[in-house]
């Protein structure tokens, strides 16, 4: 998220600047939610509501990153625009496995080999109910 707000150059005003200011709070909230989920899982409590909050939070972060990169792309010219094209293509290629995995989970038919595509497979298993 921080990368999306400062590349190729940070803004002093606007949505990217606001996103840059809230990035530390988002990081702390993500860590806290992850720790709470792990503690609840270890304690034997069913944390499906917390997992849903964590998933919604990650959707917010993904939308914020895409928005920040699109704003940067719209404002950039020349070499910076070309760099942003490469960054966008890399993100799209790198995250496509996660998208396929979570879409499969949403429809209840994720292929088993895609469990390796995510680092949060225990959380995604509890979302799918297995």
- Stretch 102-116: mean pLDDT: 66
CA quadruple 118, 69, 23, 116: dihedral, nearest 10: 0
pTM of the model: 0.59
User: How confident is the model at residue 87, as a pLDDT?
Assistant: 84
**Most confident segment among 17-26, 81-90, 93-102:** 81-90
The mean pLDDT value of the chain amounts to: 74
Burial letters 42-67, b for 16+ CB under 10 A, else e: eeeeebeebbeebbeeeeebeebbee
84 vs 3 pLDDT, higher one: 84
- Stretch 99-106: mean pLDDT: 72
Question: Per-residue pLDDT tens for 85-96?
Answer: 888 888 888 777
Q: Is 51 a residue whose pLDDT tops 60?
A: yes
Q: Is 121 a residue whose pLDDT tops 50?
A: no
Is the preceding peptide bond at 5 cis, omega within 30 degrees of 0? no
């Amino acid at each position: 998220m921080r990368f999306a707000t400062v590349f190729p150059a940070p803004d002093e005003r606007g949505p990217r600047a606001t996103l840059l200011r809230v990035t530390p709070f988002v990081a702390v909230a993500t860590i806290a939610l992850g720790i709470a989920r792990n503690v609840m899982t270890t304690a034997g409590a069913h944390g499906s509501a917390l997992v849903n909050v964590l998933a919604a939070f990650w959707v917010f972060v993904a939308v914020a990153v895409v928005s920040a990169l699109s704003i940067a792309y719209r404002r950039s010219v020349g070499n910076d625009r070309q760099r942003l094209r490469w960054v966008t293509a890399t993100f799209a290629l790198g995250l496509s496995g996660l998208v396929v995995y979570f879409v499969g989970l949403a429809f209840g038919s994720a292929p088993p080999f895609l469990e390796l595509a995510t680092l949060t497979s225990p959380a995604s298993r509890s979302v799918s109910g297995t």
